[in-house]
Amino acid sequence: MSNVTRWYYSSQGSALGPFDDAALRQMIEAGVVARDQQVLREGAETWISIPDFLALDAGSSPNAGGKAAAILSSLGERVSQASGLEKLEGFSTRSFFSQVFGKHSPEEIEEHFTVGTKSTTPDLSQIATVWPTPWAFFRILAVSVVLALGFYWAFQRFENPILVPGWLFIGCFGMPFAVLVFFFEVNILRNVSFYRMLYLLVMGGLLSLILSMFLFELSGLSSWLGAMSAGIVEEAGKLLTVIFLTRHWKHYNWILNGLLFGAAIGAGFAAFETAGYVFVHYRSAEETMVLRGFLAPFTHPIWTAITAGALWRVRGALPFAWSMLTDMRFLRIFGIAVVLHFLWNSPITVPLVGGLTGKVVFWLILGIVGWLVVLMLVQAGIKQVAGKQAALAGS
Protein backbone atom coordinates (compact mmCIF):
# COMPACT_ATOMS: atom_id res chain seq x y z
CA MET A 1 0.00 0.00 0.00
CA SER A 2 2.71 2.49 0.88
CA ASN A 3 4.35 2.09 -2.56
CA VAL A 4 1.23 3.16 -4.47
CA THR A 5 1.38 6.78 -5.60
CA ARG A 6 -1.95 8.59 -5.36
CA TRP A 7 -3.04 11.76 -7.10
CA TYR A 8 -5.69 14.47 -6.89
CA TYR A 9 -6.95 16.50 -9.84
CA SER A 10 -8.37 20.00 -9.81
CA SER A 11 -11.98 20.65 -10.76
CA GLN A 12 -13.77 23.98 -10.27
CA GLY A 13 -11.45 25.00 -7.47
CA SER A 14 -11.67 21.65 -5.64
CA ALA A 15 -9.23 18.77 -5.33
CA LEU A 16 -10.87 15.44 -6.25
CA GLY A 17 -9.32 12.10 -5.35
CA PRO A 18 -7.17 10.38 -4.49
CA PHE A 19 -6.66 8.09 -7.48
CA ASP A 20 -3.75 5.81 -8.29
CA ASP A 21 -1.59 6.29 -11.40
CA ALA A 22 -3.45 3.82 -13.62
CA ALA A 23 -6.90 5.09 -12.65
CA LEU A 24 -5.94 8.71 -13.28
CA ARG A 25 -4.46 7.85 -16.66
CA GLN A 26 -7.70 6.10 -17.65
CA MET A 27 -9.74 9.11 -16.57
CA ILE A 28 -7.54 11.36 -18.69
CA GLU A 29 -7.88 9.08 -21.73
CA ALA A 30 -11.66 8.88 -21.21
CA GLY A 31 -11.95 12.67 -21.02
CA VAL A 32 -13.13 12.70 -17.41
CA VAL A 33 -10.05 14.76 -16.57
CA ALA A 34 -9.33 17.45 -19.16
CA ARG A 35 -5.84 17.93 -20.55
CA ASP A 36 -5.73 21.53 -19.33
CA GLN A 37 -6.35 20.56 -15.69
CA GLN A 38 -3.66 20.00 -13.08
CA VAL A 39 -2.86 17.15 -10.72
CA LEU A 40 -1.26 16.96 -7.29
CA ARG A 41 0.65 14.00 -5.91
CA GLU A 42 -0.46 12.98 -2.43
CA GLY A 43 1.97 14.49 0.11
CA ALA A 44 3.35 17.04 -2.38
CA GLU A 45 2.72 20.79 -2.41
CA THR A 46 3.10 21.66 -6.10
CA TRP A 47 0.48 21.04 -8.75
CA ILE A 48 1.71 19.81 -12.14
CA SER A 49 0.15 19.79 -15.60
CA ILE A 50 -1.43 16.75 -17.22
CA PRO A 51 1.38 16.44 -19.84
CA ASP A 52 3.95 16.43 -17.05
CA PHE A 53 1.99 13.76 -15.19
CA LEU A 54 1.73 11.59 -18.31
CA ALA A 55 5.48 11.90 -18.83
CA LEU A 56 6.10 10.78 -15.24
CA ASP A 57 3.61 7.94 -15.54
CA ALA A 58 5.18 6.77 -18.78
CA GLY A 59 8.57 6.71 -17.12
CA SER A 60 7.28 4.38 -14.39
CA SER A 61 5.26 2.20 -16.73
CA PRO A 62 5.46 -1.57 -16.25
CA ASN A 63 6.37 -1.78 -19.95
CA ALA A 64 9.76 -0.30 -19.03
CA GLY A 65 10.49 -3.23 -16.72
CA GLY A 66 13.02 -5.20 -18.74
CA LYS A 67 13.01 -8.47 -20.62
CA ALA A 68 10.14 -10.09 -18.69
CA ALA A 69 7.87 -7.12 -19.37
CA ALA A 70 8.87 -7.17 -23.04
CA ILE A 71 8.02 -10.87 -23.31
CA LEU A 72 4.67 -10.32 -21.61
CA SER A 73 3.94 -7.36 -23.89
CA SER A 74 4.76 -9.43 -26.97
CA LEU A 75 2.55 -12.26 -25.70
CA GLY A 76 -0.25 -9.78 -25.06
CA GLU A 77 0.02 -8.51 -28.62
CA ARG A 78 -0.26 -12.03 -30.00
CA VAL A 79 -3.24 -12.80 -27.77
CA SER A 80 -4.87 -9.55 -28.90
CA GLN A 81 -4.43 -10.47 -32.55
CA ALA A 82 -5.74 -14.00 -32.04
CA SER A 83 -8.78 -12.95 -30.00
CA GLY A 84 -9.70 -9.78 -31.86
CA LEU A 85 -9.66 -7.87 -28.56
CA GLU A 86 -7.84 -4.62 -27.87
CA LYS A 87 -4.49 -4.71 -26.09
CA LEU A 88 -4.52 -3.75 -22.43
CA GLU A 89 -4.38 0.00 -21.84
CA GLY A 90 -3.62 1.71 -18.56
CA PHE A 91 -3.42 -1.60 -16.71
CA SER A 92 -1.01 -1.88 -13.80
CA THR A 93 -0.75 -5.04 -11.71
CA ARG A 94 0.43 -3.00 -8.74
CA SER A 95 -2.56 -0.66 -8.92
CA PHE A 96 -5.01 -3.44 -9.75
CA PHE A 97 -4.19 -5.35 -6.56
CA SER A 98 -3.39 -2.29 -4.44
CA GLN A 99 -6.31 -2.92 -2.08
CA VAL A 100 -5.56 -6.59 -1.38
CA PHE A 101 -3.71 -5.90 1.86
CA GLY A 102 -5.69 -2.81 2.83
CA LYS A 103 -7.77 -2.58 5.97
CA HIS A 104 -11.51 -3.11 5.51
CA SER A 105 -14.02 -2.99 8.34
CA PRO A 106 -16.74 -5.66 8.76
CA GLU A 107 -19.31 -3.04 7.71
CA GLU A 108 -17.36 -2.31 4.54
CA ILE A 109 -17.12 -6.01 3.74
CA GLU A 110 -20.86 -6.47 4.21
CA GLU A 111 -21.58 -3.51 1.95
CA HIS A 112 -19.11 -4.84 -0.60
CA PHE A 113 -21.21 -7.96 -1.11
CA THR A 114 -24.64 -6.33 -0.75
CA VAL A 115 -25.30 -5.58 -4.40
CA GLY A 116 -27.54 -6.59 -7.26
CA THR A 117 -30.94 -5.70 -5.79
CA LYS A 118 -33.17 -2.82 -6.87
CA SER A 119 -32.00 -0.72 -3.93
CA THR A 120 -28.29 -1.63 -4.11
CA THR A 121 -27.59 -1.52 -7.86
CA PRO A 122 -26.02 1.85 -8.69
CA ASP A 123 -27.29 4.04 -11.48
CA LEU A 124 -25.29 3.72 -14.69
CA SER A 125 -24.11 7.31 -14.41
CA GLN A 126 -22.57 6.62 -11.00
CA ILE A 127 -20.27 3.83 -12.18
CA ALA A 128 -16.57 4.66 -12.39
CA THR A 129 -15.32 3.25 -15.69
CA VAL A 130 -11.74 2.64 -14.57
CA TRP A 131 -9.89 -0.53 -13.72
CA PRO A 132 -11.38 -1.94 -10.49
CA THR A 133 -9.28 -2.86 -7.47
CA PRO A 134 -10.55 -6.26 -6.24
CA TRP A 135 -9.52 -7.34 -2.76
CA ALA A 136 -12.15 -9.56 -1.11
CA PHE A 137 -11.20 -12.58 -3.24
CA PHE A 138 -7.83 -12.73 -1.49
CA ARG A 139 -9.47 -12.81 1.92
CA ILE A 140 -11.75 -15.64 0.82
CA LEU A 141 -8.71 -17.52 -0.42
CA ALA A 142 -6.75 -16.96 2.80
CA VAL A 143 -9.64 -18.11 4.98
CA SER A 144 -10.16 -21.19 2.79
CA VAL A 145 -6.51 -22.18 3.09
CA VAL A 146 -6.59 -21.78 6.87
CA LEU A 147 -9.77 -23.84 7.16
CA ALA A 148 -8.49 -26.59 4.88
CA LEU A 149 -5.25 -26.83 6.87
CA GLY A 150 -7.25 -26.82 10.10
CA PHE A 151 -9.45 -29.71 9.01
CA TYR A 152 -6.44 -31.65 7.75
CA TRP A 153 -4.49 -31.11 10.97
CA ALA A 154 -7.47 -32.11 13.09
CA PHE A 155 -7.96 -35.29 11.06
CA GLN A 156 -4.29 -36.21 11.39
CA ARG A 157 -4.35 -35.44 15.11
CA PHE A 158 -7.56 -37.22 16.09
CA GLU A 159 -7.93 -39.69 13.17
CA ASN A 160 -11.66 -39.09 13.16
CA PRO A 161 -13.20 -39.65 9.69
CA ILE A 162 -16.07 -37.21 10.33
CA LEU A 163 -13.53 -34.43 9.65
CA VAL A 164 -12.80 -35.65 6.12
CA PRO A 165 -15.94 -34.22 4.41
CA GLY A 166 -15.19 -30.76 5.84
CA TRP A 167 -11.62 -30.92 4.55
CA LEU A 168 -12.88 -32.18 1.19
CA PHE A 169 -15.51 -29.43 0.87
CA ILE A 170 -13.22 -26.54 1.82
CA GLY A 171 -10.26 -27.88 -0.12
CA CYS A 172 -12.23 -28.39 -3.33
CA PHE A 173 -14.33 -25.22 -3.23
CA GLY A 174 -11.93 -22.72 -1.64
CA MET A 175 -9.79 -21.72 -4.61
CA PRO A 176 -12.53 -21.83 -7.32
CA PHE A 177 -14.82 -19.78 -5.08
CA ALA A 178 -12.08 -17.20 -4.48
CA VAL A 179 -11.63 -16.86 -8.26
CA LEU A 180 -15.39 -16.44 -8.60
CA VAL A 181 -15.37 -13.64 -6.02
CA PHE A 182 -12.68 -11.96 -8.10
CA PHE A 183 -15.06 -11.85 -11.08
CA PHE A 184 -17.83 -10.68 -8.77
CA GLU A 185 -15.63 -7.74 -7.78
CA VAL A 186 -14.53 -6.73 -11.28
CA ASN A 187 -18.18 -6.49 -12.32
CA ILE A 188 -18.18 -2.70 -11.82
CA LEU A 189 -21.90 -2.57 -12.64
CA ARG A 190 -22.62 -4.24 -9.28
CA ASN A 191 -25.91 -5.50 -10.73
CA VAL A 192 -25.56 -9.24 -9.97
CA SER A 193 -26.55 -10.37 -6.49
CA PHE A 194 -24.58 -12.82 -4.38
CA TYR A 195 -27.62 -15.13 -4.51
CA ARG A 196 -27.53 -15.37 -8.31
CA MET A 197 -23.82 -16.02 -8.22
CA LEU A 198 -24.23 -18.89 -5.72
CA TYR A 199 -27.15 -20.29 -7.73
CA LEU A 200 -24.98 -20.51 -10.84
CA LEU A 201 -22.07 -21.93 -8.83
CA VAL A 202 -24.06 -24.87 -7.45
CA MET A 203 -26.76 -25.50 -10.05
CA GLY A 204 -24.49 -24.62 -12.95
CA GLY A 205 -21.67 -26.79 -11.64
CA LEU A 206 -23.94 -29.85 -11.45
CA LEU A 207 -25.78 -29.25 -14.72
CA SER A 208 -22.59 -28.59 -16.69
CA LEU A 209 -21.06 -31.85 -15.43
CA ILE A 210 -24.14 -33.85 -16.41
CA LEU A 211 -24.43 -32.16 -19.79
CA SER A 212 -20.74 -32.73 -20.51
CA MET A 213 -21.11 -36.44 -19.73
CA PHE A 214 -23.99 -36.67 -22.21
CA LEU A 215 -21.87 -34.88 -24.83
CA PHE A 216 -18.99 -37.30 -24.21
CA GLU A 217 -21.35 -40.21 -24.86
CA LEU A 218 -22.94 -38.68 -27.95
CA SER A 219 -19.75 -37.40 -29.59
CA GLY A 220 -17.45 -40.33 -28.93
CA LEU A 221 -14.52 -37.90 -29.10
CA SER A 222 -12.79 -39.40 -26.07
CA SER A 223 -12.30 -42.69 -27.95
CA TRP A 224 -9.78 -41.08 -30.32
CA LEU A 225 -8.73 -37.85 -28.59
CA GLY A 226 -8.58 -39.18 -25.05
CA ALA A 227 -8.43 -36.60 -22.27
CA MET A 228 -7.83 -33.81 -24.79
CA SER A 229 -11.43 -34.22 -26.02
CA ALA A 230 -12.50 -32.39 -22.84
CA GLY A 231 -11.31 -29.17 -24.45
CA ILE A 232 -14.16 -29.42 -26.94
CA VAL A 233 -16.81 -31.31 -24.99
CA GLU A 234 -16.59 -29.64 -21.59
CA GLU A 235 -16.28 -26.10 -22.91
CA ALA A 236 -19.36 -26.67 -25.05
CA GLY A 237 -21.22 -28.22 -22.11
CA LYS A 238 -20.43 -25.36 -19.75
CA LEU A 239 -21.35 -22.70 -22.30
CA LEU A 240 -24.70 -24.40 -23.03
CA THR A 241 -25.32 -24.44 -19.28
CA VAL A 242 -24.68 -20.69 -19.05
CA ILE A 243 -27.12 -20.09 -21.89
CA PHE A 244 -29.79 -22.34 -20.38
CA LEU A 245 -29.66 -21.03 -16.81
CA THR A 246 -29.59 -17.35 -17.77
CA ARG A 247 -32.02 -17.51 -20.71
CA HIS A 248 -34.81 -15.67 -18.86
CA TRP A 249 -32.61 -13.17 -17.03
CA LYS A 250 -33.22 -9.70 -18.37
CA HIS A 251 -31.11 -6.58 -17.86
CA TYR A 252 -27.85 -8.54 -17.71
CA ASN A 253 -26.63 -7.50 -21.13
CA TRP A 254 -23.09 -6.50 -20.27
CA ILE A 255 -19.81 -8.25 -21.08
CA LEU A 256 -18.87 -8.07 -17.39
CA ASN A 257 -22.08 -9.94 -16.54
CA GLY A 258 -21.23 -12.67 -19.02
CA LEU A 259 -17.77 -13.03 -17.55
CA LEU A 260 -19.25 -13.41 -14.05
CA PHE A 261 -21.90 -15.93 -15.13
CA GLY A 262 -19.29 -18.02 -16.93
CA ALA A 263 -16.88 -17.88 -14.00
CA ALA A 264 -19.62 -19.03 -11.61
CA ILE A 265 -20.47 -22.12 -13.64
CA GLY A 266 -16.80 -22.83 -14.34
CA ALA A 267 -15.99 -22.57 -10.63
CA GLY A 268 -18.77 -25.01 -9.75
CA PHE A 269 -17.59 -27.41 -12.43
CA ALA A 270 -13.99 -27.18 -11.16
CA ALA A 271 -14.96 -27.73 -7.51
CA PHE A 272 -17.18 -30.75 -8.16
CA GLU A 273 -14.65 -32.26 -10.56
CA THR A 274 -11.83 -31.83 -8.04
CA ALA A 275 -13.94 -33.53 -5.36
CA GLY A 276 -14.43 -36.42 -7.75
CA TYR A 277 -10.73 -36.74 -8.50
CA VAL A 278 -9.85 -36.62 -4.79
CA PHE A 279 -12.41 -39.36 -4.13
CA VAL A 280 -11.16 -41.57 -6.98
CA HIS A 281 -7.48 -41.02 -6.17
CA TYR A 282 -7.97 -41.36 -2.44
CA ARG A 283 -4.50 -42.89 -1.98
CA SER A 284 -2.97 -39.59 -3.10
CA ALA A 285 -5.81 -37.32 -1.99
CA GLU A 286 -3.56 -34.63 -0.49
CA GLU A 287 -1.38 -34.29 -3.60
CA THR A 288 -4.43 -34.26 -5.89
CA MET A 289 -6.20 -31.56 -3.89
CA VAL A 290 -3.15 -29.32 -3.50
CA LEU A 291 -2.21 -29.53 -7.18
CA ARG A 292 -5.73 -28.98 -8.50
CA GLY A 293 -6.37 -26.25 -5.93
CA PHE A 294 -3.19 -24.41 -6.90
CA LEU A 295 -4.03 -24.66 -10.60
CA ALA A 296 -7.76 -23.85 -10.31
CA PRO A 297 -7.32 -20.11 -11.14
CA PHE A 298 -5.93 -21.12 -14.54
CA THR A 299 -8.60 -23.62 -15.58
CA HIS A 300 -12.39 -23.93 -15.69
CA PRO A 301 -13.39 -20.63 -14.04
CA ILE A 302 -11.46 -18.52 -16.55
CA TRP A 303 -12.15 -20.78 -19.55
CA THR A 304 -15.91 -20.55 -19.06
CA ALA A 305 -15.69 -16.85 -18.20
CA ILE A 306 -13.90 -16.30 -21.52
CA THR A 307 -16.50 -18.15 -23.59
CA ALA A 308 -19.48 -16.51 -21.86
CA GLY A 309 -17.87 -13.07 -21.99
CA ALA A 310 -17.28 -13.53 -25.71
CA LEU A 311 -20.93 -14.50 -26.25
CA TRP A 312 -22.20 -11.53 -24.24
CA ARG A 313 -19.91 -9.29 -26.30
CA VAL A 314 -21.72 -10.43 -29.44
CA ARG A 315 -25.20 -10.57 -27.92
CA GLY A 316 -25.38 -7.15 -26.29
CA ALA A 317 -28.96 -6.22 -25.46
CA LEU A 318 -30.43 -8.71 -27.97
CA PRO A 319 -32.09 -11.96 -26.92
CA PHE A 320 -29.94 -15.02 -27.46
CA ALA A 321 -29.98 -16.56 -30.94
CA TRP A 322 -28.09 -19.67 -32.04
CA SER A 323 -26.67 -17.71 -34.97
CA MET A 324 -24.58 -15.76 -32.46
CA LEU A 325 -22.45 -18.86 -31.96
CA THR A 326 -21.29 -18.56 -35.57
CA ASP A 327 -20.16 -14.95 -35.19
CA MET A 328 -16.38 -14.73 -35.65
CA ARG A 329 -16.08 -12.35 -32.69
CA PHE A 330 -17.33 -15.22 -30.53
CA LEU A 331 -15.67 -18.10 -32.36
CA ARG A 332 -12.17 -16.63 -32.13
CA ILE A 333 -12.34 -16.33 -28.36
CA PHE A 334 -14.23 -19.59 -27.84
CA GLY A 335 -11.54 -21.27 -29.94
CA ILE A 336 -8.85 -19.92 -27.62
CA ALA A 337 -10.62 -21.38 -24.57
CA VAL A 338 -11.00 -24.75 -26.32
CA VAL A 339 -7.34 -24.81 -27.40
CA LEU A 340 -6.16 -23.86 -23.90
CA HIS A 341 -8.20 -26.70 -22.38
CA PHE A 342 -7.11 -29.10 -25.15
CA LEU A 343 -3.43 -28.33 -24.58
CA TRP A 344 -3.87 -28.49 -20.80
CA ASN A 345 -4.93 -32.13 -21.10
CA SER A 346 -2.26 -32.97 -23.66
CA PRO A 347 1.04 -34.73 -22.86
CA ILE A 348 3.03 -31.63 -23.86
CA THR A 349 5.56 -30.40 -21.33
CA VAL A 350 8.28 -27.75 -21.26
CA PRO A 351 11.44 -29.08 -22.94
CA LEU A 352 14.62 -29.43 -20.86
CA VAL A 353 12.57 -29.43 -17.66
CA GLY A 354 10.31 -32.42 -18.05
CA GLY A 355 8.44 -34.33 -15.39
CA LEU A 356 5.81 -32.75 -13.19
CA THR A 357 7.77 -29.48 -12.95
CA GLY A 358 7.86 -29.10 -16.72
CA LYS A 359 4.15 -29.84 -16.89
CA VAL A 360 3.30 -27.28 -14.22
CA VAL A 361 5.37 -24.63 -16.01
CA PHE A 362 3.50 -25.41 -19.24
CA TRP A 363 0.18 -25.11 -17.40
CA LEU A 364 1.22 -21.74 -15.96
CA ILE A 365 2.06 -20.46 -19.45
CA LEU A 366 -1.40 -21.51 -20.64
CA GLY A 367 -2.85 -19.82 -17.56
CA ILE A 368 -1.13 -16.53 -18.35
CA VAL A 369 -2.61 -16.60 -21.85
CA GLY A 370 -6.05 -17.28 -20.39
CA TRP A 371 -5.79 -14.41 -17.93
CA LEU A 372 -4.66 -12.02 -20.66
CA VAL A 373 -7.87 -12.83 -22.54
CA VAL A 374 -9.86 -12.35 -19.31
CA LEU A 375 -8.34 -8.92 -18.68
CA MET A 376 -8.89 -7.89 -22.30
CA LEU A 377 -12.55 -8.84 -21.96
CA VAL A 378 -12.76 -6.93 -18.67
CA GLN A 379 -11.33 -3.92 -20.49
CA ALA A 380 -13.88 -4.37 -23.27
CA GLY A 381 -16.61 -4.55 -20.62
CA ILE A 382 -15.43 -1.33 -18.97
CA LYS A 383 -15.35 0.44 -22.33
CA GLN A 384 -18.84 -0.87 -23.08
CA VAL A 385 -20.12 0.78 -19.90
CA ALA A 386 -18.22 4.00 -20.67
CA GLY A 387 -19.68 4.06 -24.19
CA LYS A 388 -23.20 3.69 -22.87
CA GLN A 389 -22.60 6.47 -20.36
CA ALA A 390 -21.35 8.75 -23.12
CA ALA A 391 -24.36 7.91 -25.30
CA LEU A 392 -26.78 8.71 -22.48
CA ALA A 393 -24.95 11.94 -21.67
CA GLY A 394 -25.07 12.97 -25.32
CA SER A 395 -28.80 12.31 -25.57
Three-state SS letters, 63-82: HHCCHHHHHHHHHHHHHHHH
Residues 128-171: tens digit of each pLDDT: 998 999 999 999 999 999 999 999 999 999 999 999 999 999 99
Binning pLDDT at 50, 70 and 90, where does residue 26 land? confident
| pLDDT (mean) for 287-310 | 96
CA distances from 82 to 25, 234, 303, 331, 363 (A): 27, 22, 16, 11, 19
H/E stretch holding 353: none
Tell me the residue type at 10.
S
Question: What is the distance between the alpha carbons of residues 143 and 148, in angstroms, rounded to a whole number?
Answer: 9
For residue 82, give the nearest of 376, 293, 278, 296 by alpha carbon: 376
Mean local confidence (pLDDT), 198-226:
97
Q: Is the pLDDT at 19 greater than 90, yes or no? A: no
Expressed in percent and rounded to 5, the helix, strand and coil fractions of the chain are 70, 5, 25
Relative orientation angle of helices 230-245 and 255-280, to the nearest 10 degrees: 130
Is 315's pLDDT higher than 80?
yes
User: Whole-angstrom Cα distance, residue 6 to residue 92?
Assistant: 13
- Is the pLDDT score of 253 beyond 60? yes
Q: Which residues contact 150 (CB under 8 A, 6 or more apart)?
A: none
Determine the average pLDDT of the residues in 292-306. 97
**Residues in CB range of 232: below 8 A, 6 or more apart:** 219, 221, 225, 338, 342
Nearest residue to 296 via CA among 148, 92, 131? 148
- Calpha distance 188→6 (Å, rounded): 21
Least reliable range by pLDDT among 53-67, 109-123, 218-232: 53-67
The domains located in the chain, with CATH, are 6-60 (3.30.1490.40), 106-394 (no CATH)
Average pLDDT over residues 168-180: 97
Confidence of residue 4 (pLDDT cuts 50, 70, 90): low
How much is the pLDDT for 62?
42
The mean pLDDT value for 294-314 works out to 97
Q: 241 pLDDT band (50/70/90 cuts)?
A: very high
* Long-range interactions of 248-255: CB distance < 8 A, separation 24+: 249/196, 251/191, 252/191, 252/192, 253/312, 253/315, 253/316, 253/317, 254/189, 254/191, 254/312, 254/381, 254/384, 254/385, 255/309, 255/312, 255/313, 255/377, 255/380, 255/381, 255/384
C-alpha 82/C-alpha 103 separation (Å) is 40
Given this model, what pLDDT does residue 107 score? 94
Classified as helix, coil or strand, 32 is: coil
pLDDT exceeds 80 at position 13: no
Beta strands in 232-388 (DSSP E): none
Whole-model pTM over 0.75 = yes
Q: Which pLDDT belongs to residue 61?
A: 45
Q: Identify the pLDDT of residue 395.
A: 66
Q: Count CB-CB contacts under 10 A for residue 346.
A: 14
